[in-house]
Chains A and B, each alone.
Chain A
Amino acid sequence: MATLSLDALSKTYPNGVTALHGVDLTIDDGELIVVVGPSGCGKSTLLRMLAGLESISSGELAIDGRRVNDLEPAERDIAMVFQNYALYPHMSVADNMGYALKNQGVPRAERRRKVEETARLIGLEDLLDRRPKQLSGGQRQRVAMGRAIVREPKVFLFDEPLSNLDAKLRVQMRIEIRRLQKRLGVTAVYVTHDQVEAMTLADRLVVMNGGHIEQVGTPMHLYDQPASRFVASFIGSPSMNFIEARHADGVLTLPCGTHLPLRDGASTESGDAVCLGVRPEHLVQVGQGDDTTLTTQVELVEPLGADTLAHVRLDGQAELLVARLNGAQQIAEGDRLYLRPDPERLHLFDPQEGHSLAAPETVS
């Protein structure tokens, strides 16, 4: 259990490529932080710097107030779960789990007791004598978790631990990781590119892009008040729809002629071009078109059961929009669809910079 503080953490590789530009973050005791972002955004580099597997070019990293920049991974009292589990193939499950304790000089009897205790906790007690080769993917994942838990580290680090599992197992393990982390109360940093995983696991989410932190906050905060177009498009599935619009005297005019009322406090001047963001679930189907609706034509229908995703083309526009409609709705390709964006849930972004133009008071 520990707090982590990252102060202007940067990583520049010897070849001059900068993977991380001054990351600041404070992680509270017992918190599960999920770092999410597209590949190449620096999230894995960040995690590896926390672990001590990658050197820190500049900035300060402290665990529980102690500077750990120059400590070896083992001295930082962290445990890491790797994407491909990185189990030692020639060792039994018990030996895999106990290896760190062995290196710490823990006596054999105590080692065995701790390993068995952990194995019971994660349901591995019958597999302790097996080799990794004889285990299924889910079981290997569990062993990798057990190896991290048994040491009782200050911080857990997860590097996309579920990406090698099939979809069903992934959901199951996700819940299990969350439950274990809460139960053990260990601070954890979890890296993933899967935004569903990120939303469901995180106490707080860190969205990264191009070596910068775009936004930090609870999953719902990021969903409701994305600070930038990038965060808005990354959080939520399917992605937010973006439409170019023009602001004139408190009214947004869309290229298709639709007029939408602008909420108070948006930092935009009359005459500015803006980028309007609407989530698929905030497009409401209405029976009749008027000047506050979007008139669209259905191009593709994805029935998901409870919901149906309609990929629709706005009249006169090239890009497709996605709308999440009630699954009971009968729609077919080629249908006309009138969609009204929920005026309370509109997001405005700067068309060039991409930062949010939302009213300051709503960005709490």
Chain B
Amino acid sequence: MRYRRPGLDAISHILLILALLAFSLPVWLAIIAATHDQSSLYTGTAPLWFGDQGLDNFRAILSEPVARLGTDVARLLFNSTVMALGIACGKIFIAILAAYAIVFFRFPLRRLCFWLIFITLMLPVEVRIMPTYKIAADLNLLNSYAGLILPLIASATATFLFRQFYMTVPPELLEAARVDGAGPWRFLRDILLPLSKTNIAALFVIMFLYGWNQYLWPLLITTESDYMTIVVSLKRMLSSADNLVPWQAVMATALLAMLPPVAVIVLMQRYFVKGLVDAEK
């Protein structure tokens, strides 16, 4: 129900603008802080307008090793991107195949397999962190991209989502494809994947954010700065025992850390909403 009342419109706009201001203030402060030098951030009052550093702080953290990290932020961004992409793509790849097997093939213990996958929903990384770490260590996965990605890749959520979608695909479509001479792989590639495009896009966004924001696991498994992710490093930049925290660098790093997820959401927003709202068939 939509009311057509100018007064109501004005009020809702004011509320929205206030909320927008409230939400964007921290971001604004971060942008401002990233353009000051360290000394002007320790004067006791937080600056509200751009400082004189311009983009120098960004240039510095991207090209030179940052103190206490031993590597530059460009490398951290790269590591995080590799991990987030690996997790997102890997999860989608595995979930598609798992759901495909569960929905379209008849094999013994099919239901058991599904429920076993489903049960892992109750076992997030935090719960199984000790055994997972042990396995990763035994397999020599510490300080490697594989170690960052593989333990997080199996996904009951994504499998479940694809299963639900596949179950809405009319069985006649499979039969028509069989009559048309499409084997299981062809059916998956030519029919099922094109139909699940929006689902894949939506899941990609969610899983990319999930991967990007991982903290506990990367913290545990990476000790070398070459494999550190940006989210973990951000926290390390703050933990200073003796020195002053270089807030201008921290803020610049935080802003850079925000960019890839924002870019992914902006670019894929159209598919994302479509994938969650309607199943196009």
**Which residues of A approach B to under 8 Å, CB–CB?**
51-53, 72-74, 78-80, 82-84, 86-91, 99-100, 103-104, 147
Pick the 7 closest A-B CB pairs, nearest first. A74-B181, A86-B172, A103-B181, A100-B180, A86-B176, A90-B194, A73-B179
Is A88 in contact with B176, judged by CB distance below 8 angstroms? yes
Question: Beyond the given A82-B176, A103-B182, could you list 20 further A-B residue pairs with CB under 8 A, ordered by the A residue number?
Answer: A73-B178, A74-B178, A74-B179, A78-B179, A79-B179, A80-B179, A82-B175, A83-B172, A84-B172, A87-B176, A88-B176, A88-B177, A89-B280, A90-B191, A90-B194, A91-B194, A99-B177, A100-B180, A100-B181, A104-B181
CA of A78 to CA of B179 in the docked complex: distance in angstroms?
Answer: 7
A residues less than 8 Å from B177 (CB atoms): 88, 99
Listed residue (B175, B186, B194, B195) with the most chain A CB atoms within 10 angstroms of its CB: B175
A157 CB → nearest B CB, Å:
8
Interchain CB contact under 8 A, B170 and A53? no
Residues 171-207 of chain B: 1 if any A CB is under 8 Å from the residue's CB, otherwise 0?
A: 0110111111110001000110011000000000000
Assembled-state Cα–Cα distance A4/B170 (Å): 29
Whole-angstrom CA separation of A83 from B170 in the bound complex: 12
The minimal Cβ–Cβ distance linking B180 to chain A, given in whole angstroms, is 4
Cross-chain contact A82 with B172 (CB below 8 angstroms): yes
Most B CB within 10 A of own CB, among A51, A79, A88, A91: A88
* A103 and B180 form a contact (CB under 8 A): yes
> Is B128 part of the binding interface, using a Cβ–Cβ cutoff of 8 Å?
no
CB within 8 Å for A80 and B181 given contacts A90-B195, A99-B190, A103-B186: no
Judge whether A84 and B170 touch: CB under 8 Å: yes
Give bound CA distance, A172 to B159, whole Å: 46
A-B contacts, 22 listed (Cβ < 8 Å):
A51-B179, A52-B179, A53-B179, A72-B178, A73-B179, A74-B178, A74-B179, A74-B182, A80-B179, A82-B172, A82-B176, A83-B172, A86-B170, A86-B172, A86-B173, A86-B176, A87-B176, A88-B177, A89-B195, A99-B177, A99-B182, A100-B180
Which chain B residues border A91 with CB–CB below 8 Å? 194
B235 within 8 Å of A (CB atoms): no
A residues less than 8 Å from B181 (CB atoms) = 73-74, 100, 103-104
Give Cα A112–Cα B176 distance, bound, in whole angstroms: 20
Binding site secondary structure of chain B:
helix
Which residues does chain B contribute within 8 Å of A87, judged by CB atoms?
Answer: 176
Of B170, B181, B281, the most chain A CB neighbours within 10 A belong to: B181
Q: In the complex the two chains form, what is the Cα distance from A89 to B177 in whole Å? A: 12
CA–CA, A87 and B194, complex, Å: 14
Q: From residue A216, how far is it (CB to closest CB) to chain B in Å?
A: 26
Which of B178, B182, B195 is A53 in contact with, Cβ under 8 Å? B178
- Complex formed: what's the CA distance from A151 to B180 in Å? 9
Query: When chains A and B are docked, how far (Å) is the Cα of A210 from the Cα of B50?
Result: 85
Q: In whole Å, how far is A133's beta carbon from the nearest beta carbon of chain B?
A: 9
Q: Smallest CB-CB separation from A82: which chain B residue? A: B172
B182 & A89 in contact (Cβ 8 Å cutoff): no
- Give the residues in chain A near B173, CB-CB below 8 Å: 86, 88
Q: Tell me the smallest distance from the CB of A202 to a CB of chain B, in Å.
A: 23
- A90–B177 CA distance with the chains assembled, in angstroms: 13
B165 shortest CB reach to chain A, Å: 13
Is there an interface contact between B175 and A80, defined as CB atoms closer than 8 Å?
yes
Given contacts A82-B172, A103-B186, are A88 and B191 in contact (CB under 8 A)?
yes
Greatest chain A CB density within 10 A among B172, B178, B180 is at B180
A-chain residues with CB within 8 Å of residue B175 when the two chains form the complex: 51, 53, 73, 80, 82, 86
**Closest beta carbon of chain B to A55's beta carbon, Å:** 12
> Once the chains are docked, how many angstroms separate the CA of A147 from the CA of B175?
14
Docked CA distance A99–B175 (Å): 13
How many angstroms between the C-alpha atoms of A221 and B227 in the bound complex? 83
Residue of A nearest to B182 (CB): A103
Q: Which residues of B contact A103 (CB under 8 A)?
A: 180-182, 186
Within 8 Å CB of A80, what residues of B?
175-176, 179
Q: Quick one: closest A residue to B173, CB to CB? A: A86
Q: B residues within 8 A CB of A79?
A: 179
Per-residue CB contact flags for chain B residues 155-176 toward chain A (1 = under 8 Å, else 0) read 0000000000000001011011
Q: State A90–B279 Cα separation when bound (angstroms).
A: 13
Among B170, B180, B195, B281, point to the contact of A74 (Cβ < 8 A). Answer: B180
Report B-chain residues with C-beta under 8 Å of the C-beta of A51.
175, 179
Cβ–Cβ < 8 Å partners of A100 in chain B = 179-181
The complex places the Cα of A192 from the Cα of B91 at a distance, in Å, of: 45
Chain B hits for A104, CB < 8 A: 181
- Which residues of A sit under 8 angstroms from B176, Cβ to Cβ? 80, 82, 86-88, 147
* Shortest Cβ gap from A164 to chain B (Å): 12
Docked-complex contact A99 and B179, CB < 8 angstroms: no
B213 to chain A, nearest CB (A): 33
CB distance from A97 to the nearest CB of B (A): 10
A119 to chain B, nearest CB (A): 17
A86 and B187 alpha carbons, distance in the complex (Å): 14
Least distance between A70 CB and chain B CB atoms (Å)? 14
**Known: A90-B194, A90-B195. Is A99-B180 also a contact (CB below 8 A)?**
yes
Residues of B within 8 A of A90 (CB): 191, 194-195
CA distance A80 to B247 in the complex (A): 69
Residue of A nearest to B172 (CB): A86
Once bound together, how far apart are the Cα atoms of A325 and B180, in whole Å? 50
Which chain A residue shows the least CB distance to B197?
A: A90
Bound-state CA distance A65–B178 (Å) is: 23
Please encode chain B, from 250 to 281, with 1 for each CB lying within 8 Å of some chain A CB and 0 for all others. Answer: 00000000000000000000000000000011
Q: What chain A residues lie within 8 Å of B180 (beta carbons)?
A: 74, 99-100, 103, 147
Q: How far is the CA of A86 from the CA of B191 in the complex (A)?
A: 12
From A72, A73, A79, A91, residue with most partner B Cβ within 10 Å: A73
